[in-house]
Amino acid sequence: RDRTLIRLLLEAGLRKGEARRLQFRHVDVEQSRLIILEGKGGKDRVIPIPADLVEQLVALAIRDGIHPDDHLWYATHTNQHGEPRIHRQRPIGEATFARWWRTCCERARVAYRNPHTCRHTFATRWLRDGGRMDTLAKALGHSSIRTTVDLYAHLATEDVAADLARVIAAKSGEANAGRE
């Protein structure tokens, strides 16, 4: 369960609040995408996600008995006997999400990182895999591409070198095509 939810954070670039409010009905199984309602600034957006991640989310829903209106990160409360009670109709609380995240980091033997790091990882991977800055800004829900460039374009010298190599290869291909 945790692996699927962490993968969702990494592959969708969700904000913590968006993740906490995400219900299973927001997973568009047919088109392999997430529908984010009322993200930051009250904006809605659609984020494409890999088909195999959708399959993992469907399997999670079946395994855990999650219905369309249930939250993927849901609330739990302990009763007077110390038994946990699951409330899938309510989103996980802020403090409970923080505990869940910290526990996941500890179990994975990863030094603690803020959950927002997943958003930065998503952005860096997007750009390194050849995604455009303007489409990344849309996927992240930014109203200005400047925000995306200033906060999420963590590219290294190697990334610039890789882009240069692609440009040179493209020019070389054009030159060779002109000779034929």
The residues carrying an active-site annotation are: 15, 40, 116, 119, 142, 152
Q: Encoding tokens for residue 130?
A: 């050849």
Question: Distance from first CA to last CA of the chain, Å, rounded?
Answer: 56
Alpha carbon 177 to chain centroid distance?
40
The four Cα atoms 79, 84, 90, 94 give a dihedral, to 10 degrees, of: 100
Helix runs in 65-156, H state only:
94-107, 117-128, 133-140, 145-152
By the 10 Å C-beta count (0-12 exposed, 13-18 middle, 19+ buried), 133 is classed as: middle
| Residues 6+ positions from 33 with CB-CB distance below 8 Å | 46, 47, 48, 49
Q: DSSP state, 71? A: B
Beta bridge pairs of residue 84 = 78
